[in-house]
Amino acid sequence: MIRRLYEWILALSGKPSAPWALGAVAFAESSFFPVPPDVMLVPMAVSRPDRVWFYATITTIASVLGGLVGYAIGALLFDSLGQWLIKLYGLQNSATTFQDSYATYGHWVILLKGLTPIPYKLVTITSGFAHYSLFWFTVLSVITRGARFFLLAALLGRYGVQIRGVLDRHLNAVAAISLAVIVLGFVLFKVIL
């Protein structure tokens, strides 16, 4: 199954719909979807290294726009949809502590959490729930998400051939490690806060 998904993403990268699919995943991940856009960005970039910066731009813009939806969920729908999403991920206690940390750390919360494997949707929803400044939330989201995806693009642009070789030979191991990092992000969010 993982191999078929990987090959589908590689084939997709040659189609005009590729940026739209990548954007949709990046948008959804910032507000409700559990899978990070890296699972599409990496195969697409190694398949089309000439478009790595374009893909990073699409991912950043879509992630920030999705983050604004996550912010709106936290600000306007926390009692219904926001609570449901937080409970779905088993992070009820962590979200409250995370909200309290805005009073002390403000900008640093968004900057640091946006770069880590901690799911960004939790940052966006909690930012809205905490009524953090929408202006600063947007500015910091552009900085942190841009840094994350453009750093990844730089690595993929420089080492893309080697990365594709590793993916082609050891896809299941890479997928297992990636899944472990995502789970670790949720665990860290619960433990740290």
Q: Please tell me the predicted confidence (pLDDT) of residue 113.
A: 75
Q: Please tell me the predicted confidence (pLDDT) of residue 89.
A: 65
Q: Please tell me the predicted confidence (pLDDT) of residue 140.
A: 94
Q: Please tell me the predicted confidence (pLDDT) of residue 162.
A: 75
Q: Which one-letter amino acid corresponds to residue 50?
A: D
CA distance 56 to 141: 14
Overall number of domains in the chain: 1
The Cα diameter of the chain in Å comes to 47
Q: Please tell me the predicted confidence (pLDDT) of residue 31.
A: 82
Let me know how long the chain is: 193
**Three-state secondary structure of 15-82:** CCCHHHHHHHHHHHHCCCCCCCCHHHHHHHHHHCHHHHHHHHHHHHHHHHHHHHHHHHHHHHCHHHHH
Range of 123's domain?
Answer: 2-11+19-192
Q: Please tell me the predicted confidence (pLDDT) of residue 8.
A: 67
Q: Residues 6 or more apart from 182 whose CB is under 8 A from it?
A: 34, 35, 36, 117, 119
Q: Please tell me the predicted confidence (pLDDT) of residue 171.
A: 63
* Three-state SS at 130: coil
193 residues of the chain, pLDDT tens digit each: 666 766 767 677 778 888 998 999 899 988 877 777 888 888 888 888 889 999 999 999 999 999 999 999 888 887 787 777 777 766 666 666 666 777 677 788 788 777 766 678 878 888 888 888 999 999 999 999 999 999 989 988 887 777 766 766 766 676 667 666 666 665 665 555 5
Q: Please tell me the predicted confidence (pLDDT) of residue 139.
A: 95
Q: Please tell me the predicted confidence (pLDDT) of residue 99.
A: 66
